[in-house]
Chain A
Amino acid sequence: MMKKFLTISILAGVAFAAGAATAQNDPIAQRKSIMKGVGDATKPVAGMLKGTEPFDNALVQKALATYIDAAKKMPSLFPADSKHGGETTARSNIWDEKPRFDGLFARLGQEAAAAQGAIKDQDSLKPNFGKVLGVCKECHDDYREKKN
C-alpha cells in the first residue's frame, strides 16, 4: 500500500515538475496563462459594470494591478518561434506589427495606472474602467483569433 502511494506521489511529482518546466520555457502557455489570469481578475468587475454585483474597490484595484503586471510581462512572450502550436489564438499579424502590438500593452498599463487613482465608487468605475477594457477589445479585435 505504502509502496504504491510512494510510486504515485513520485510519478505525480515528476509530472508536475515537467509541466512547470514546460510552462516556464513555453511562451505560448505562459502568455495564455497570464491572459487567463487577466480574464479571471476582470470577471467580478464585469459584474459590477453590469450592475449585477456590488461595487468592491479591492477587486477593482486587484484587476488593475493584474493588468499592469501583465502589460509588463506580455510583450516578451511573443518570440518569432511562437506563432503556431500550443493552441494559440494569437494572430500571425502580431509579428508583422510588433511595435503597434507592444504599444497596446503599454497603453493597457498606462490606462490601468490612471484608473487606479481615478476609481473611487460605482460612478467613477464605468468611465474609467471602460477605458481600460477598450484597450483589451482593440487588441483582441486585431490580434486575437475568434474561436467562434
Chain B
Amino acid sequence: MSVGGARVLAWDGPTRVFKWTLVLLVLDGWVSNRFGASLPQWHIWNGYLALTLVVFRVLWGFVGGSTARFSSFVAGPRRALAYLRGAKYLGHNPFGGWMALGLLALVAAQALTGLFSADEDRLIIEGPLAGKVSDATVAFASHRHHLIFAALEVLIVVHIAVNLFYAAFRRDPLVKAMVTGEKPAADYADMRSAAAGSWGRAAVCLAIAAALVFGGITAAGGRLF
C-alpha cells in the first residue's frame, strides 16, 4: 500500500480550513438556535458566514487545489461502478464526492431559507429578507428551514459513520487526511498527489463570496443587523 511510508498531499490548507470551519458553523448554527434565543443576531450571523463559506467553496471548486475541484471529484455512475470494483482515491471517491455536494447543497439551502425565515409571530427572530416577503412565504421558508436541518442531521450522521468505517476497516485514514492534509502514497485512481491551491487565491475567493452574500442581501433590501 504505502510506498516506503512516503506521504503525498491530499488536501491543501484552504480546503481543510474551509472544511473544519464549516463543521464549526453547522454546530454553532444548532447551538445558537438552541441556546441563543436572547441573541437572535448570533444565529443570523452564523447563517451569513455559512452561506459565505459555501459560496467560497463553489468558487474554490473551480480554482482551488486539484482534489478540491469539482472536475476532479464529481463522478458519474461509470466511475462509481469502477470504484465499487476496488479503485482507491486520493481525494473524494465518487460516493464521497456526492456526499460533499449533498452536504454543501443542504447547508446552502439551509442558509438561503434562513434569510426568509422567522418565528411564527415574527416577534423573536427574523431573517434579513423575511420582512420583504409575505407571511405565507415566511411560513414556507421556516418550515423548510426545519426540514432541511433534519435532512442535514441524517447526512452528517451517515458521513461521519462512513468516514470512521473507512478509517477502521479499510485502512484509509480519511479523517486524518482532512486534518494533516496528507495520505500515504499509493496507486490512487484520481491522482497520485494533489496540487495545492494558493492561499492568495483562497483569500480572493473568500472576498468575492463575502461580497456576493452581504452585497446580495443588502441589494435585496435586507438589513444585516
Write the residues of chain A forming the contact surface with B, with a CB cutoff of 8 angstroms: 39, 42-43, 46, 50-52, 130-138, 140-141, 146-148
Contacts and interface: CB of A to CB of B under 8 A. Distances in A.
Given A146-B120, A146-B146, A148-B120, A50 B39 contact: no
Interface of B: 34, 36-40, 119-126, 131, 139-140, 142-143, 146, 223, 225
A130 B40 contact: yes
A138 B37 contact: yes
Main secondary structure of the interface of A (DSSP, over half): helix
Nearest 6 CB-CB pairs, A to B? A134-B38, A134-B37, A148-B139, A137-B37, A130-B38, A148-B143
Contacts of A46: 122-124
A146 B149 CA distance: 15
Contacts of B223: 50-51
Contacts of B119: 137, 140
18 contacts: A42-B121, A42-B123, A43-B123, A46-B122, A46-B124, A50-B126, A131-B38, A132-B38, A133-B37, A133-B40, A135-B37, A137-B119, A137-B124, A141-B37, A146-B143, A146-B146, A147-B139, A148-B139
A119 to B, nearest CB: 14
Nearest to A145: B120
A130 B39 contact: yes
